[in-house]
Amino acid sequence: MKDDNNKNLKNELNQELISLKQMLSLYKQGPIPVKYAMYINIISVGVRFRNHLQNYLEKINYEKYKNWFKKKSENDKIIKFFVDERNRLEHNSVPKVKTELSISSLSLPSDLLKYGPPPPNATEFFIDGLGIGWIIKQQDGSKVKLYVPLPENQVKTSIIPTSLPNDLRNYSIDYLLTYFVDYLENSFKEVEKEFD
């Protein structure tokens, strides 16, 4: 029974890791609203994954685990930032971020049209601080924005957490998120090699 529980935990960890990598991919491709949602998801699922990995290690070899986990996560400022950000998220329910939009080259609406015709009921295109896309008129007369991800060599959108410590401000959030997900994946691989 214990082996079945360990196997189930390991499968859960593997699924969470797959989800994290998919979220990171969506983050990198998406306009600001997608980036923001994926940022929150990566923080939440990433810290949960780390806690699940800790539980898994405790169950398979507590003594060996204590030293390994301490060595693995001690003094890593990036991991500490994400754990702290997750705690802030729990208390404040939304992380505090600034958004940034930089345009290298853009011709509207022709660059939008490269990615397909305007969606049904599109009345015009827009540019705002969160991205670029189409204004869609709803049946009730209200209007909604549909953001279109454009290549980063044309339009780059970024979110910048306002809680970043000074010594991490030189890194892009793309780099920090990639580091976090890679760290979790490498930890899982190391656990499989070291403890199984």
In this prediction, residue 29 carries a pLDDT of 82
Report pLDDT for 56.
Answer: 80
Task: Tell me the whole-structure pTM to 2 decimals.
Answer: 0.77
Contact indicator for 179, 18 with CB cutoff of 8 Å: no
Average pLDDT for residues 50-75, to the nearest whole number? 77
Tens digit of each residue's pLDDT (9 = 90 or more) over 22-52: 999 999 887 788 888 899 999 999 999 988 8
Q: Which pLDDT score is estimated for 175?
A: 94
Contacts of 142 (CB under 8 A, 6+ apart): none
| Tens-digit pLDDT profile for residues 125-179 | 998 877 888 999 998 989 999 888 888 788 888 888 888 999 999 998 999 999 9
Q: Which of 82, 45, 94 lies closest to 173 in space, CA to CA?
A: 82
| pLDDT value at 6 more than 80 | no
**Per the structure block, which two tokens stand in for 168?**
């991490």
